Amino acid sequence: FDIGQIRNFSIIAHVDHGKSTLADRLLELSQTISKRKDNKQVLDKLKVERERGITVKAQSASMFYDYKGKRYLLNLIDTPGHMDFNFEVSRSLAACQGTLLLVDAAQGIQAQTVANFYLAYGQDIAIIPVINKIDLPAADPERVASQIEVAFELPASECLQISAKSNLNVDQILPTIIENVPSPSGNINKPFKALLFDSWYDTYVGVICLMAVIDGRDKIVSAFSERRYEVSETGIMYPEQTPSSSLQAGQVGYFVLNMKALSESHVGDTFFDHKHIGTPMPGFTPAKPMVWAGIFPIDTADFEKLDHSIAKLTLSDSSVVIQKETSTALGQGWRLGFLGTLHMDVFRQRLEQEYDANIIITAPTVPYKIDYRDGTQKLIRNPTEFPDLDEVNAKVKSVQEPMVKSTIIFQNDCLGDIMVLCGSRRGVQLEHTYLDENRVLLKYRLPLAEVVTDFHDELKGISSGFASFDYEEDGYDDADLVKMNITLNSKPVDALSIILHRSQAETVSRDWVKRLKALLSRQLFEIVIQATIGNKVIAREGLSALRKNVIAKCYGGDVSRKMKLLNKQKEGKKRMKAIGGVEVSQEAFYDFMSKK
Ligand code: GDP
Ligand code: MG
């Protein structure tokens, strides 16, 4: 294939702006897939993805297209549309020379449109603005085109206006790509060199690596990690894996290298001809898990099974980091690191749906850094590891928390409320721009910890669902943080410890203690619930003892009824966790953990 007739491109968009629909239309147009009536999206494979309407794993597809008497090979690299997966967007973009920036004609520019634009802009690739959904009654393509000009300095007149749903003007897309996106610049006569930009685990063949071939045309590659691999299969995604005898410079395709584990495939790795190992291309810094949570089986007997399920699930998602953890309250479990809270939710949902797991997941924690006066440093991923107040006072030089730079886009009328919300979350305003007379773009610097809890929900509440939000990491800042412990009858419940900003300690303590009281059921003894910081009690609630005894009812009654009741009680207990000598129902704990 002449490299001049290859185009590698992606589609970037805010979630729901129609990326998957457009991808399907392009695959149909190029006859890669036949037209479907059920409107099932070909590129979104996982069940959770469909349910949540998000693409978690980037998927790529190749198509052939005839234009002006020539046959072109077009490689579409799908990208995820959610902020937790920005890392996957940038690695997908690294394999492209151009991208379609898709914007909904009714909604206009949203936060992820801005974030994704800058990711593409930073990669120096051709950006083609496309306004989608022009069939909608509320569509205002002219207004959106002018927003695009204001926000990105892309001429409004150059925006394509399409409807992916009704197939209007979709036929303009591929010609525009061919005309405006440069072909890849590799050399077919040079030794093999390829960039690994995605990989996943396939139950039948093992690890599959998606690579962009930069130079050469060969089948035998070896990693710069100096491990040699034999290629057992290579081909293109058409749109399923379709073997071909070789892949050449400029092509994007998959390689089966007989890797045993996904951890062997380092995204950003360069592969060379084993006789011509050169300088690796700039790789990607691996995604750092920024949200950590403990996962525990509700029934300790499920530990082994859950261990297997988690191991299996992480085979297909190498961005989850696992370590074992033991909690005095919840027993043996794991501490898992995720890219963000959506990533965490998706993982939990897959664990429950695909592996039938019954779990408790603790409140998420961001990674904190502690600098001690003696020069040592500690990274905290679990609130129980956070030094107590005495230790902080005696030994700690500074505590630092991760920060983010966030973009929020919304209608002008909620400006005041949104600024109040950001202020209450310790945010500092960086930018305030009008995209048009009533669309506002705000940039705030905020502590990540404030963002991973209910910030997004609050934002949606204030704006009746219309504000959009995205963020990127922005280093660490010093912060005045304390650890709050919860005790039940003076026994600390480690799984309920959290790290708080000192200014919020009192409000949160009171709230937690009140909510715990409401969720715990009365038992045969009094329960005292306390929130403490250091050895100071910040909030306290008591739950009086229950007098009624289940058995009392049966005195004089027949034995079988008594046995039945006792068994019923035992069954009820299976769903309970004894925490600090206090029985806490699974539902209560779960409710408590899921509401921040
Ligand atoms: P993605 O999240 O960007 O992949 O968006 P999807 O392709 O899943 O589309 C989100 C929703 O918008 C779906 O319900 C689509 O049917 C709908 N949609 C996509 N394109 C159009 C369009 O051109 N017009 C209209 N009216 N709806 C569209
Ligand atoms: Mg999609």
ipTM, interface predicted TM-score of the complex: 0.99
- 84: annotated binding-site residue? no
In 3D space, the residue among 215, 212, 211, 213 whose CA is nearest the CA of residue 186 turns out to be 215
**241 against 22, higher pLDDT:** 22
Tokens 């070896």 correspond to 222
How would you classify the pairing of strands 126-132 and 98-104? parallel
What percentage of the chain exceeds 90 in pLDDT? 48
Pocket test for ligand 1, best of 16, 48, 52, 342 (most atoms within 8 A of CB): 16
Cα–Cα dist 418/89, whole Å: 28
Alpha-carbon span 513 to 528, nearest angstrom: 10
For residue 264, CA distances in Å to 207, 268, 392, 506, 569 come to 9, 12, 40, 47, 50
168 lines ligand 1 (CB under 6 A): no
Whether residue 19 is annotated as binding a ligand: the answer is yes
Q: What is the four-CA torsion angle of 343, 349, 355, 360, rounded to 10 degrees?
A: 90
Q: How far is the CA of 318 from the centre of ligand 2 (A)?
A: 21
What's the confidence (pLDDT) of residue 573? 46
Q: Locate 517 and state its tokens.
A: 């009281």
* pTM for the whole structure: 0.78
pLDDT greater than 60 at residue 574: no
| Of 407, 404, 373, the residue nearest 387 (C-alpha) | 373
Lowest mean pLDDT among 175-179, 550-554, 555-559: 550-554
Please name which ligand lies nearest the alpha carbon of 44: 2
Residues flanking ion ligand 2, Cβ below 5 Å: 20, 55
Which atom of ligand 1 is found nearest the CA of 17?
3
Stronger pLDDT, 170 or 321, i.e. the higher one: 170
CB of 18 within 6 A of ligand 1: the answer is yes
57-99 confidence digits (pLDDT tens): 446 889 999 999 999 999 998 776 555 666 666 777 888 999 9
Helix axes 141-152, 111-122, angle to 10 degrees: 50
With a CB cutoff of 8 Å and minimum separation 6, the contacts of 558 are none
Answer yes or no: is the C-beta of 52 below 6 A from any ligand 1 atom: no
Ligand nearest the Cα atom of residue 167: 1
